[in-house]
């Protein structure tokens, strides 16, 4: 099944048509800027533009950087507060005229990495992290996702970990790799203490510079670079939509469908 995957991030809204069964993007990626303030109506307008760019009329899988339950946003860390309580699925369906699925951005990236990337065929506890404007997390146990974990917001030094250790903190405070790496080390060690993972998968645009900061992170669990880099969100969003629409289910997506199906070939 072909699905238009759309990854909504703090700085850009990116889309591509994806073959959801193979995880391959079958078009070039198309990117527009996230509108200033990221208010619901403005973001929906850009999502509509992406759909029009591809002249798309089929299913759409959207990722969003917040807690998403049954299509509704329940948090708003790096987007406008008015997202809280907004039915993102209904809003995007209205502006695009297409059936839409919405899931958390890190969960989508994690699903793509677990099925087609660095977590492929791996069991145990796996934590996927996306380092960008915020810190997104997706936690898997034997291929099953625990959805909507918000481990970017755990407490660190009396504050929000994301504020200190996200890629945006490195840029905002103009931190060197070593200084940022030390903060990441503290953060990863906290996660390791809390969840005892077998593997960390690190994604987000900055993961292509992993040689600059992985050496500062000392965890028992190995670190792997996300193989799909910044495309994991688009692909995972499409996979989630595929799982829902294929099963004729209009509710919250069941990740077991995706992972079970793909993992069993």
Contact 79, 63 (CB under 8 A): no
Residue 236, interface with ligand BGC (CB under 6 A)?
Answer: no
Out of 3, 8, 44, 77, name the contact with ligand BGC by CB under 6 A. 77
C-beta neighbour count of 1 within 10 angstroms: 15
Q: How far is the CB of 65 from ligand BGC (least distance, A)?
A: 3
Residue of this chain nearest to ligand BGC (CB atom): 134
Nearer to ligand BGC, 69 or 216 (CB): 69
Residue whose C-alpha is closest to residue 125's, from 154, 102, 149: 149
Task: Tell me how far, at minimum, the Cβ of 148 lies from ligand BGC, in Å.
Answer: 8
What are the two backbone dihedrals, phi and then psi, of residue 192, each rounded to the nearest 5 degrees?
Answer: -65, -40
Q: How far is the CB of 149 from ligand BGC (least distance, A)?
A: 9
Name which of 93 and 150 has its Cβ closer to ligand BGC.
150
Sign, CA dihedral 177-182-185-186, equals negative
Q: Which of 6, 20, 47, 66 forms a contact with ligand BGC (CB under 6 A)?
A: 66
Binding segment for ligand BGC among 60-68, 207-215, 246-254, 255-263 (CB under 6 A)? 60-68
Interface of this chain with ligand BGC, residues 97 to 156, rule: CB under 6 A: 104-106, 130, 132, 134, 136, 150, 152
Q: Is residue 86 within the footprint of ligand BGC (CB under 6 A)?
A: no
Q: 3-class DSSP state for residue 61?
A: strand
The neighbouring-strand residues paired with 10 are none
Per-residue buried b or exposed e for 135-150, using 16+ beta carbons within 10 Å of the residue's own CB:
bbbbbbeebebebbbb
Near ligand BGC in 154-183, by CB under 6 A = 162
CA gap 130, 233 in Å, rounded: 10
Of positions 78, 101, 164, 230, contacts ligand BGC by CB under 6 A: 78
> Smallest Cα–Cα separation from 187: which of 173, 215, 169, 166?
166
SS3 108: helix
Is the Cβ–Cβ distance between 67 and 74 less than 8 Å? yes
| Angle formed at CA 83 by CA 159 and CA 29, multiple of 5 degrees | 95
- Residue 202 found at the interface with ligand BGC (CB under 6 A): no
Nearer to ligand BGC, 95 or 137 (CB): 137
Based on CB atoms, which residue is closest to ligand BGC, 106 or 126?
106
**Residue 100 contacts residue 60 (beta carbons within 8 Å):** yes
Tell me whether residue 98 or residue 103 sits nearer to ligand BGC (CB atom): 103
CB of 95 to ligand BGC, least distance (A): 22
Rounded-to-integer distance, Cα 70 and Cα 48, Å: 21
Indicate the residue among 40 and 99 with the shorter CB distance to ligand BGC.
40
Closer residue to ligand BGC, CB minimum distance, 4 or 8: 8
Would you tell me which residues interact with ligand BGC (CB under 6 A)?
65-67, 75, 77-78, 104-106, 130, 132, 134, 136, 150, 152, 162
């Amino acid at each position: 099944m072909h699905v238009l995957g759309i990854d909504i991030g703090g700085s850009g809204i990116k889309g591509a048509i994806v073959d959801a069964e193979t995880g391959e993007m079958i078009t070039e990626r198309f990117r527009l800027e996230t509108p200033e303030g990221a208010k619901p109506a403005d973001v929906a307008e850009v999502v509509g533009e992406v759909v029009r760019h591809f002249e798309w009329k089929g299913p759409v899988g959207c990722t969003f950087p917040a807690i998403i339950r049954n299509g509704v946003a329940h948090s708003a860390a790096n987007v406008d507060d008015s997202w809280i309580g907004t039915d993102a699925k209904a809003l995007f369906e209205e502006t695009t005229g297409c059936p839409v699925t919405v899931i958390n951005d890190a969960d989508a990236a994690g699903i793509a990495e677990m099925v087609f990337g660095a977590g492929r065929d791996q069991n145990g506890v796996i934590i996927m992290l996306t380092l960008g404007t915020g810190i997104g997390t997706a936690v898997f146990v034997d291929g099953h996702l625990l959805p909507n974990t918000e481990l970017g917001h755990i407490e660190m030094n009396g504050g929000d970990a994301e504020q200190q250790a996200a890629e945006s903190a490195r840029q905002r405070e103009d931190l060197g790799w070593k200084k940022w790496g030390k903060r990441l080390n503290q953060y990863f060690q906290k996660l390791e203490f809390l969840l005892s993972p077998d593997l960390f998968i690190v994604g987000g645009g900055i993961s292509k510079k992993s040689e600059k900061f992985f050496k500062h992170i000392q965890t028992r669990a190995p670190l792997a670079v996300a193989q799909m880099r910044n495309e994991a969100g688009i692909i995972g969003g499409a996979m989630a939509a595929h799982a829902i629409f294929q099963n004729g289910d209009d509710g919250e997506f069941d990740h077991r469908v995706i992972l079970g199906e793909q993992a069993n070939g």
